[in-house]
């Protein structure tokens, strides 16, 4: 019976606190630091922002609209634990030693002196939770800031993507020169094949960078340096393709290659045991 009463009281506390700038601490709703988070070491009168990444202990409920609170956990924002603030917010449902979160944005309104338990006085920051039109204005401005930040990030990602695509394209394309050195073209190599017509011989297929149109020319038209590059590329591409085909076949039999030379039968990645060097060993 007592446990049921406690559950009801907790529910009432949560319901009362909801919508009045603070709530009983809930780890599931613990906010992460964001661009809207404000830190006391950089506060000045008029500063506005969120303290959602902090949790507080209620030191003293002063009256219906004021309380003294201290930082319980800093949420990774380097706010000193035990730092004391005076907060102006509706305190209905709040009690001393309760752990709470400030869920609405706050405004720094100045400083205030208060008497400590040791009998001395201390000057602390005074903050208040935003309400009414001031709260609506802040949230509208925050939504606009977040929207702009998201758009800026999107624009930057698109810019980075274009830069990356250009870098990849720069690697794919090269300048091919004619054998007599009179002509050149920037293009991407596609394939080299022997024509069934002996009079034509070997043909080279390229994609022109300028208009992305296909171009097929005889190998004798290109410079010897270009043909050497093409032959080496064809050889390297074939090696990669053959290795991928072999790896796929081996994988079906439980053999996996984890480096250019070493293979594994049982997941081991060290020489010996279930690993071996080279397919024929």
Summarised one tens digit per residue, pLDDT across range 87-105 is: 999 999 999 999 998 888 9
Contacts of 268 (CB under 8 A, 6+ apart): 274, 275
Please report the beta strands in the chain, taking only residues with DSSP state E, as ranges in sequence order.
22-24, 48-49, 55-63, 66-73, 84-88, 99-102, 106-115, 121-129, 173-177, 184-194, 202-208, 214-218, 256-257, 262-264, 275-277
115-139 mean pLDDT: 87
- Bridge partners of residue 37, in order along the sequence: 50
Is 63 a residue whose pLDDT tops 70?
yes
3-state secondary structure of 240: helix
| pLDDT value, residue 88 | 93
């Amino acid at each position: 019976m007592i446990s049921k009463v406690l559950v009801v009281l907790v529910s009432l506390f949560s319901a009362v606190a909801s919508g009045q700038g603070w709530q009983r601490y809930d780890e599931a709703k613990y906010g992460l630091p964001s661009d809207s988070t404000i830190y006391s070491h950089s506060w000045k009168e008029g500063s506005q922002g969120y303290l959602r990444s902090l949790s507080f202990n209620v030191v003293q409920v002063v009256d219906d609209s004021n309380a003294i609170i201290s930082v319980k956990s800093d949420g990774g924002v380097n706010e000193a634990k035990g730092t004391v603030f005076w907060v102006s917010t509706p305190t209905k449902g709040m009690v001393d030693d309760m752990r709470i979160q400030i869920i609405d944005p706050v405004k720094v309104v100045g400083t205030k002196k208060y008497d400590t338990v040791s009998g001395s006085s201390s000057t602390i920051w005074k903050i208040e939770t935003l309400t009414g039109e001031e709260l609506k204005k802040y949230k509208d401005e925050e939504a606009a800031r977040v929207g702009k930040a998201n758009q800026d990030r999107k624009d930057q990602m698109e810019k980075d993507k274009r830069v990356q695509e250009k870098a990849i394209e720069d690697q794919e394309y090269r300048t091919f020169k004619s054998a007599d050195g009179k002509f050149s073209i920037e293009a991407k190599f596609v394939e080299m094949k022997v024509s069934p017509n002996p009079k034509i011989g070997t043909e080279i297929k390229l994609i022109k960078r300028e208009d992305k149109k296909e171009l097929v020319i005889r190998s004798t038209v290109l410079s010897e340096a270009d043909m050497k590059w093409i032959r080496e590329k064809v050889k390297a591409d074939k090696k990669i393709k053959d290795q991928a085909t072999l790896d796929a076949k081996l994988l079906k039999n439980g053999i996996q290659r984890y480096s250019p030379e070493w293979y594994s039968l049982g997941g081991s990645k060290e020489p010996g045991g279930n690993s071996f060097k080279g397919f024929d060993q």
